[in-house]
Copies of this chain bind each other. A is one copy, B any other.
Amino acid sequence: MPLPRSTPVDLLLDATLPDGRRADVHLRQGRITALTAPAPTAPPVGGRAVDLGGALLLPALVDGHVHLDKTFLGAPWQPHLPGSTIRERVAAERRLRREIGVPVVERASALAELLITQGTGHARSHVDIDPDVGLDGLHALLEVRERFRDRLGLQLVAFPQGGVVTAPGVPDLLDQALRAGADLIGGLDPEGFDGDPDGQLDVVFGLAERHGVGVDLHLHDPGESGAAQLRAVAARTAALGLDGRVTVSHAYCLGELDDHGFGSTAQALAGAGVSIMTNGPAGPMPPVLRLREHGVRVFAGSDNIRDAWWPYGNGDMLERAGTIGLRDDLMTDQELHTALDLATGAAAGALGLTGYGLSVGDRADLVAVAAAGVPEAVAAHPARLLVLHAGRVVHAADHP
């Protein structure tokens, strides 16, 4: 491997930019300092310049929804245990995580390493906070965040996987989690899991207000029940002035509403600045293009990767963009650019990342892909040739 990890790179020669232009990209101190027309004669390639040979250069991919604490990566293969309801799956997960033996820090680190090789530079991970596990998972992920601070940006959401108002002591645990370093407050099916939408949202938004943090809430509840909760989240977001800082993850119900219900719900989300995260599931899902037409920010995440919820996943956000694109019938070049945006710009916006992009001054968190352009990268998710974080190599294929 000609480019050992942590090598600082000063110059990326002959990159294809997302808009199709070719450019040499100059880097210094972890930032993009200039984009210039490719030099007619390439300068000699030294340790700090890499010739991309026309490969596509993207800002590092953003995985807007992972569960680093849940993965079985780093442990021997765990066969999936069946279970159809959310409560059954939560119970199966508690059983499995007691038996697995390999500590969270080790498993989460294995997944973080995988994300990096896929070109992901920033991720938002939910972390279980429940009466059983307490803050143990959070402390483990805080350690992982520190361990990877030079290679992967990590946001942590305090996630009440066992419910909020129906789980003894959880509101207090969530409060402690935010004091201990969690970046956002999460939630779970206020109606479907807790049976008390107002009660759960009182706690969640109360904590958001008290700690000045954003919200990222899991919502699997279907149809009109789900839509009513989306509108309730929008109303609370507007009331607290949390525009741009609240996400509802999954929101399958948006794929099940009639035109009137969809329109009024999308309008409420757009008006309040509530974002929607999807992983392109097999069943009903939020319609990406329709939501964007209504002004709703939609972004992408892997969700579970090889854990008690399902055995699938490899953390590839280009593949994820393609999965969502196939589900939402994104076919033209413009639509494939939109699919990429779900895992780049839109996700960066939802996460509130600053200095994200390919402009002068932006952070040199970059990924080079073996593709001639964005449409091909989404349609075929080819190899990642080189991944930089703050201008340093964090992953390099053998022959970049």
| Contact sample, A vs B, 15 pairs, CB 8 Å cutoff | A77-B373, A79-B333, A79-B375, A82-B331, A82-B332, A282-B329, A306-B379, A306-B380, A311-B336, A311-B376, A311-B379, A313-B379, A313-B380, A319-B319, A398-B399
Q: Is the CB of A80 within 8 A of B398?
A: no
A102 at interface by CB-CB < 8 Å: no
Q: Is the CB of B79 within 8 A of A312?
A: no
CA–CA, A332 and B313, complex, Å: 14
Q: Is the CB of A380 within 8 A of B312?
A: yes
Q: Is the CB of B375 within 8 A of A314?
A: no
Q: Is the CB of B314 within 8 A of A331?
A: no
Chain B residue nearest to A398 in the complex (CB): B398
Q: Which residues of A contact B (CB under 8 A)?
A: 76-77, 79-80, 82, 282, 306, 310-314, 319, 322-323, 325-327, 329, 331-333, 336, 372-373, 375-376, 379-382, 398-399
Looking at the assembled complex, report how far the CB atom of A378 sits from the nearest CB atom of chain B, in whole angstroms.
8
CA–CA, A270 and B197, complex, Å: 49
Q: Which of chain B's residues have a CB closer than 8 A to the CB of A313?
A: 379-380
Q: Which of chain B's residues have a CB closer than 8 A to the CB of A79?
A: 332-333, 375
Question: Knowing that A77-B376, A79-B333 are A-B contacts, what are 15 other residue pairs whose CB atoms are under 8 Å apart, sorted by A's residue number?
Answer: A77-B375, A79-B332, A80-B331, A82-B331, A82-B332, A282-B329, A306-B380, A311-B336, A311-B379, A312-B322, A312-B379, A312-B380, A314-B381, A314-B382, A319-B319
Chain B residue nearest to A325 in the complex (CB): B312
Chain B residue nearest to A314 in the complex (CB): B380
Looking at the assembled complex, report how far the CB atom of A279 sits from the nearest CB atom of chain B, in whole angstroms.
10
CA–CA, A67 and B47, complex, Å: 44
Question: If the complex has contacts A77-B372, A375-B77, are A331 and B306 also in contact, measured as CB distance less than 8 A?
Answer: no
Q: Which of B310, B327, B399 contacts A282 (CB 8 A)?
A: B327
